[in-house]
Structures are given as structure tokens and as C-alpha cells.
Amino acid sequence: MGVIGALMLLLVVSVAVFAPWVAPYDPYERVQVTPEQILTPPDPQHLLGRDDAGKDVLSQLIYGSRVSLTVGFTASFMAMVIGTTVGLVAGYFGGRIGNVLMRVVDFLMVIPELPLMLVIIAVMGRGLLNIILVIGLLGWTYTARLVRSQVLSVKERQFVLRARSVGASSVRIMTRHIFPQVLPLVIAQAVLDISVAILAESTLAFLGLGDPTLVSWGNMLNFAFERGMSRRAWWFLLPPGFAIVWVSLSLVLIGNTLDEIVNPRLRTHHLFDPRRMIAPTLAVRPAQEREATEPT
Amino acid sequence: MERSNYILYKIGFAVITLLAVLLFNFVLFRILPGDPIKLIIHSPRMTREAQERIRASFGLDKPVWFDVQRLERGDVLGAFDTQFTAYLLNLLRGDLGISFATRGGVADLLKQRVWRTVILVFLGDVIAIMAGMAIGLIGAWRRGTRLDAGILLLALFTWALPTFFMGIILVLLLGRGRLPIGGMVTPGLRPADGLTYWIDVGKHLVMPTIAMAIVYTGEYILIMRSGVMEVLAEDYILTAKAKGLSTLRILRDHALKNAMLPMVTMIALTFGYTVGGAIQVETVFSWPGLGRLMYESIQKRDYPVLQGTFLLLAASVIIANLLADILYSVLDPRVKVE
Amino acid sequence: MSILDVRDLSVDYLTEDGVALHAVENLSLRVERGCSLGLVGESGCGKTTVMMGLLRLLPEEGRIVNGQVLFDGKDLLQRSEAEMRKVRWREISMVFQGAMNALNPVRTIESQIVEALLLHHIVNDGQAARRRAGELLELVGIPATRGSQYPHQYSGGMRQRAVIAMALACNPRVLIADEPTTALDVMIQAQILELLERLQADLNLALVLVTHDLGMVAEMCADVLVMYGGVAAEYASSDVIFNNPQHPYTQRLLQAFPDLEEPGSTLASIPGTPPRLDDLPPGCRFEPRCQCEWREAICAHRPPPLVEIEPGHRVACHWAARMV
């Protein structure tokens, strides 16, 4: 499954990178349109029809990928850095620092994310940077928890004790010895975090708090919802959403597969079908042969 | 003894979190640059009386935290006559301010809308939990089969789907059918109309609830499935088999209760996420609850309402988490304070 | 007729690539009513596999490819799964290795014993079941009032005893104890062994003791089956095994255990490691480690059959058979 996800993601990334060449029109260009040219269904010149301002939906879809991917990777990276640092410190030093840090993590985890993000952006103002900051600053908690529990188990292992006895400094131990052990898990989580970030950005944009200067899928859905619903403009409503699902799903598939590699789980449990346990050669014999032969 | 310690600890934590949220709320809207309240005060939409009322109840002419000058003069009590104190006192009185848009009390507005969100979230979540648990259990039991792979894929797909988009799809797909897709009641009906009214509300509730349920079922399937898989590999399941129990009885009497533990924790943890989903669903379906209110207040720049709604939503999630923690301590005999 | 008569049991484990690892081959053993059999061998020699196999509790990769398991004359391998469920616990019960984790952590000890009682209709009413559970706990030295507690509130030794109590709930005719005392301290070990001995005598219980500890076997068992690499090496009464061991492996095993009567003798260890299941020697499985002076070419080429060299004493060794 992970491979499919990777391919899916590759498609989107290429589209994003090569957007100017792939897209038929430039969505940032001003267009003069007549009323009949608004919200038109697909036609040969506009494969996905036109939006509420008369612009080509397909081009916007293509350019929108840039925003989503940028926000996704940046916010996730931020969350990864913060989360890993907090987790390493909390896990390695333990004690009061560890406790305080974990309480902060618990605190952030309890507060509902979307309302908090809405409120912060509403006050701070719309903008790409704000969105990335908000998502990144709220999304590091899972990673922190994960890293901390991993550090706790790695901390007592031989090679760490050896490093300490040799007199290595804490920072050195954390970065050179513990961090590499923790990295695979962090990466698996980071991939999932990217999809969470993309979903968060699109939700914020849909609810009206996206960056108004950019073409993003969330923004498209915002306009589509507000102005396209009455005309059931499916060409405007569905593609951005499906694009979001496409990217999200690709990341989730990759992340899920990575998670299985990094965290190998048992393949089987005790409640399987017992019929295969006895080889067919030993199959149930007819009734008269059931009783044993005479004892030796 | 262990359990009551645990519960007290959790209550304490909830209280502290709540206080932190209150503090945060205050800080966000007063201290940050571009103080929105001052901006609104000078908006031409506000009448003189409303401006004075707001100024008074917010105490915008007073110091923010602590009046040092009055303290120096020996007026200890008066030193607390600040914006922050006013804020806290107002909260205790149940006064959440005045809406910029409606000029009515925020608290009243919230009171009116609360139950609508509660019922939507409750119904949607309960359906999602039950479906998620059942499907997740089956997936884990039939681990490795194509059925399980299908279930996993389905769950991952719904997880990757933005909640609001699910709503949009439902609206487009089923919009022309028998079930209404917007609002809470058909215009013209009133509570006084009795059963007709309630049935109409019920009909309007169906679509948003389905949207909520579908999105969250995926999440719960994933949680239950991994929880059950772990449980079914445990030694006590083998013992149960050796005792001669049938598979179904083992699932029911041994696996279920153990799998419920991580499930309860995760339901609590994702409750904040569920509330976020409610905001989206209410927006798409124009269901007039707290979520929709939040959306509208953002659009209208109605900061008191935004603040009040956030406070209420955050408080509910904190309390829900506390209840879940208590429930967990009842289910798991091993709990103790770390 | 023996209560349990296993004939030529062979168990394979299938790997992911479909390769069949022969974990146990043609293993035969007999347990007489009220008697005890010790099943001895290194970790990985297949002793647990044999026991799980006869109860048909192998893991998903396990396959029983040959043999008969005659319980009171009837072949268990021919039974349907539903019929097996009536035999399990009621007639043959088991105390697993690492029994401390065998209990469900979110249910009381009592409820887990009651479950067995009600399932097999030993008792039919809840209250009577709880009373009987209390009696069983007292039998193993746990106060009945502690039945309403949870496994985490018991010490390791207590949990072990509770599991034994649970295993006896349905008055089985055979009790299989797989390493019942590993990870327990010596005092508790002694207590548990004493308990098992007493129960065996009082309840006329047939006991199969699976262990790598020869000392335990010497104390507790009438007969001993020594296994190596998935096959039987030597099978005789405990007297004979300890005083006249004929298989080189048995001899080395005995040398590896301290003997109180000869405090000055050196403890010998057996160099080498047990055979890998995917790389089994074509001949005698012990041959690569056998330091017997009489080792011959045949040892490496043909697996030695289990031969009765004297009445009641079977050995699987070319050399030992030759001496008859």
C-alpha cells in the first residue's frame, strides 16, 4: 500500500513543481468576464469549468497544490523539530523538567484544535505564515509523546550507559546516541503529520481564514461553497476536495506502511481458524476406525 | 484508594487546564497587537450606549492586570480593580459579554444554541463509536484476510477525508432527495406546532449526523482494530482457549473489556477533534449550533461571541476528557497516579 | 490402559515462505493414571510443542502432520474442535510457561475460576461456583477472601498458585505443568512443587512436568522422557535415568547438574548449540555435539530409532542399541 501512496504523492509533487508549465492558464492573472462566463460547467477550453470569478478551475487546482504542499511540509517539519526536542529533553532528563513538559503537552492535547486555531488566526490575521505557525505550534504534541516514551526505553540500554560512564555530555548523548534510535519513528509520524497539516490548512481556508492572496484548495472550496452550492457547481466543488483527499490518502498510505516497518506488529493472534492445524493426511477417519488399535 | 487519588489528580488537572484556557482567552483578545476591541469600539456601527456599556463591562479604561499606583496609595483592594479581575468576575456571573452583531448577551446566544450541537455531536459520535468498534473488532479478528485489508483501506480513506468535504459530497449526492440538507427546521414551523416540529427537526438532523458518523467511524475503526489485535495476541487469550471457551465467548468475555481501555482513552483524546468536525458539519449543513455560530462570528468579526464560543467548547472538551478519565479508572483496576 | 498415550506425534511449523520446519518428529509417550511423567530438555527442544500439540493449541503456523493422541483410548486428533473444547480443561488442563501472564488483568481471580467451573458445568449456580473457587484457592494456600482481587494485586508466586488452582477447577485427569517454577525464587519453587506433589496424591492426578530442571524431575517424577532437537532421546523410569543413563545427551545433562554426594566433581557443560530446525542433521540430531568415544559413521547418516534396550528403558542411540 505504501508504494501506491508514494506514487500518488509523486504525481502531486510533480504537478506542484511544474505548475506553471502544466496549467493551461495563470490563476493569478486578472480576467475580464461577462456574467455568462461565471460558474460554467466543463468545456473543451476549461476542462473543469469556471469558478465564481470566471477563472479556470483546473489551473487553480494545479496551483493550489503548491500551497497545500508548502504548508504541509513546513508545518510538519516545525512540529517534528519542536516535538522531537521536547520529547528528547523530557525523556532524557526526566524528573521535574520531564513532568512539567509532559503536563504542557497534556494541556495542549486537551484543548480542541480547530476552535483554538480559528480563534488565534481570527485575532492574528490571515496569512500563510500565520497558518503555518499555528498548525506547527499546535501539532507537535503527538511527536513529543512518542519520542519521550521511546527515549525512556532507550535510555537504559547498554550503549547509553557506556557513553555516560565515559563522561559524554548530555547533549552529545541525546544527539549522537538516542536521536538516531528515535528518528525512524519520528519520520513515520512526520509523514502522517503532513497530511494532518494539509487537512488543517484546508479546513481553516474553508471556514474563511485562509490566505486571501493565494490560490489554495481550501480557498477554492470556501468560494465554491459560498457561491457555487446554489448552482450545484460540482466541477468547482468536487475537484479541490478530491485533490485534498488524494494527497492526504497518499501520505496516510505511506505513513501507515512506514509505521508497520518501524513498529513491527505481530502478524497473528490466538483466535485463528483451527481447522488447518491438523494436516489433511490425518483427516477425520470414518466412525469405525475412530477407536484406537489395541494398546501395546 | 489508588483510584480516588487518581480521580482527584485528574480533577485538579482539569481545573488547572480550565484556568489556563481562561487566562489564554483573556490574553489573546486584550494584549495582542491590533486590539480588536478598541477597533470595534470606534466602529460607526456601535451606538453611544453600547460603546459605554462595553467600555464599562470590559473596564477598558482600567489597567490590565494589577493597579500598582493604587497599591502604592495603600488601596489594596482597589489594586485588583483591573481588566483581568473584571473579566473573571464577569465569568463567574455568567456574563460572557455582548455580541457586536446582535447586541444581545453572548451567554444567552450560547445557551440557545448549545443543545443543538450537543445532540448532533452525541448522536454522530455514538453511531461512529458503535460502528467503529464493531467493524474494528471484525477487522482485527480476521486479521490478514482481504476483509481486513478492505476495512483498513476504508478506514484510512475516511480519515484522509476532510469533514467538511464529506458534508459537501453528501449534499451534492443526496440533496434532491427526501431529506433536507440545510438548516434545522423548515421555515414557518415552530416548537408550538408540537410533534410536527420535532419530526421536522429530526429530519433535518439526519444528514449532518450521517456526515459526522461516517468521518469518525473511520477513526474509531483504526483505534479499535489495533487495540483488539494487541489484546488477541496476549497470553490470557491462549489460556481462555485452553479452558475450552469458544471464539465468540473469548471475544465477548475477555477481549472486549481489555480492548475498551485504549478505546476509551482515544475517544477522549479525539473528542477535541470531534468538536472540530462539528464546526465543519454545522457550517456545511447550516445547522444552527455552536459550530455554525463560531463560523458566523468569524465572518462578522464578532469577537465577544467568538471568545465565548471558544471558551464553552474548550471547557466542554476538558470536562469530557475528565469524565473519560474517570470512566477509565472504573474500567481498569490497575490505575494509579504515576 | 494409560490415561494418555501419544503415538508418533509429529509437528511442523510453517514459515512465511512455506517451508516446513520439523519441530517434533515421531514422539511417543505415555502417562499412567495418577502417575507423573517428566519431560526434560533444553529450551527449544520441542517439549512445549508436544504439549500444545496434544491439546491442539499450537500457534497459527503449527501443523500436526502425524500421530495419534489417545486419551482414555480415544484419539483426540480425530475429534472436532467442538469436542476438543469439552476435553480441554475438563479432562486435561495446563499450567503454561510464564503463568503469571496467563490471567486476564481486568477480571478478578475468582471470576476467572468461576468461568471454568460454569463452562464445564462442574457447578451450575453462581454462588456455588464462587464458593468452590474459594475452596480451590485455599487448596493452593491463598485465602479465599482474596479471590475478589485482581491479578496485579498478587505476587508472582501467588499468581502461579492461582493458575494452578484454576487448572484444577474441573478435576481434570491430567495436569500439564510447563515450567511451573521459572522466574520464581527458590522458596516459592519448593512450595509449589510440594503443592503439586500433594495434589497429585490427594486427587489421583496424572501429572506431566515439562522442565529443563533435572533436579525437579528427580524429586517429582516416576517416569522421564528426555528430548533433544525435537525427538525422544531416552525414555525410562526416573530411577533408571538417574542411575543408568545410556544416551550420551542424558549422561552429559546429568553431569551438568551439581550432585550433593560428590561435591568435588566438576560441572560439565555441553559445548555447541541445539540444532536449527531449518538445518537438521541427516542422522542423529545430537551427533554434532556428541563426544562419545564410540561415535561412528552411522551416527551422522541414520537417525537412531527408539529401541527398548531393557524392559521399560528406551534409548535412541546407535551405540546404546548395539550394547544390548
B338 band by pLDDT with thresholds 50, 70 and 90: low
Measured CA to CA, the distance from residue C25 to residue C7 in angstroms comes to 11
Q: How are beta strands C223-228 and C231-237 bridged, if at all?
A: antiparallel
Identify the three-state secondary structure at position C315: strand
ipTM of the complex: 0.90
- Summarize pLDDT for C122-135 with one digit per residue, the tens: 888 989 999 999 99
- Give Cα separations from C323 to B170, C233, C247 (angstroms): 86, 16, 12
With a CB-CB cutoff of 8 Å, which residues 110-129 of chain A face chain B? 110-116, 118-120, 122-125
What's the pLDDT score for residue B62?
63
Best residue in B121, B164, B230, B243 to probe A by mutation, most A CBs within 10 Å? Answer: B164
- Summarize pLDDT for C71-108 with one digit per residue, the tens: 998 999 988 999 999 999 999 999 998 877 899 999 99
Identify the three-state secondary structure at position C273: coil
Closest-CA residue of chain A to B271: A112
- Any chains having at least 3 CB pairs less than 8 A from chain B are A, C
Residues A160, A164, A170, A175, CA torsion sign = negative
A276, A284, A292 ranked by CB distance to C70: nearest: A292
More confident residue, C53 or B192: C53
Q: How far is CA B117 from the centre of its chain?
A: 9
Percent of chain B with pLDDT over 90: 31
Measured CA to CA, the distance from residue C76 to residue C80 in angstroms comes to 9
In 10 A of CB C62, how many CB atoms? 21
Residue A231 has pLDDT above 80, yes or no: no
- Summarize pLDDT for A76-98 with one digit per residue, the tens: 999 999 999 999 888 888 788 88
Do A282 and C58 count as a contact with CB atoms less than 8 A apart?
Answer: no
Measured CA to CA, the distance from residue C231 to residue C217 in angstroms comes to 19
B291, B17 Cβ separation under 8 angstroms: no
CA angle (C11, C92, C183) in 5-degree steps: 80
Burial class (CB in 10 A: 0-12, 13-18, 19+), B81: middle
With a CB-CB cutoff of 8 Å, which residues 319-338 of chain B face chain A? 321
- Summarize pLDDT for A50-74 with one digit per residue, the tens: 877 778 888 888 888 888 899 999 9
Measured CA to CA, the distance from residue C142 to residue A141 in angstroms comes to 46
Q: Does A270 touch chain B (CB under 8 A)?
A: yes
Q: How are beta strands C4-14 and C62-71 bridged, if at all?
A: antiparallel
Which of these, B239, B3, B245, lies nearest to C162 by C-alpha position?
B239
Q: Which of A243-257, B276-290, C175-189 has the lowest mean pLDDT?
A: C175-189
- Summarize pLDDT for B35-83 with one digit per residue, the tens: 555 555 555 666 667 666 666 665 566 666 666 666 666 666 666 666 6
What's the pLDDT score for residue A273?
86
CB-CB neighbors (< 8 A) of C152 in chain B: 333-334
Q: Does C81 touch chain A (CB under 8 A)?
A: yes
C52, C58 Cβ separation under 8 angstroms: yes
C86, C98, C106 ranked by CB distance to B244: nearest: C86
CB-CB neighbors (< 8 A) of A291 in chain C: 73-74
Burial class (CB in 10 A: 0-12, 13-18, 19+), A275: exposed
In 10 A of CB A272, how many CB atoms? 18
More confident residue, C20 or B337: C20
Residue A290 has pLDDT above 50, yes or no: no
- Summarize pLDDT for C242-273 with one digit per residue, the tens: 999 989 889 888 887 776 666 666 666 777 88
In 10 A of CB C239, how many CB atoms? 13
More confident residue, C147 or A162: C147
Measured CA to CA, the distance from residue A87 to residue A142 in angstroms comes to 10
Measured CA to CA, the distance from residue C39 to residue A179 in angstroms comes to 47
CB-CB neighbors (< 8 A) of B334 in chain C: 105-106, 150, 152
- Summarize pLDDT for A123-181 with one digit per residue, the tens: 888 889 999 999 999 989 989 998 998 888 887 777 777 777 777 777 777 677 788 88
Q: Which helix (H) or strand (E) holds C9?
A: strand C4-14
In 10 A of CB A97, how many CB atoms? 12
With a CB-CB cutoff of 8 Å, which residues 54-73 of chain A face chain B? none
Chains A and C: how many Cβ contacts under 8 Å? Answer: 49
C291, C268 Cβ separation under 8 angstroms: no
With DSSP H G I counted as helix, E B as strand and the rest as coil, what are the percentages for chain B, rounded to 5?
Answer: 75, 0, 25
In 10 A of CB A169, how many CB atoms? 10
Q: Does C262 touch chain A (CB under 8 A)?
A: no
Do A295 and C5 count as a contact with CB atoms less than 8 A apart?
Answer: yes
Rg, C-alpha atoms of chain B: 25
Do C106 and B332 count as a contact with CB atoms less than 8 A apart?
Answer: yes
Mean pLDDT rounded to a whole number for chain B? 82
Reported residue count of chain C is: 324
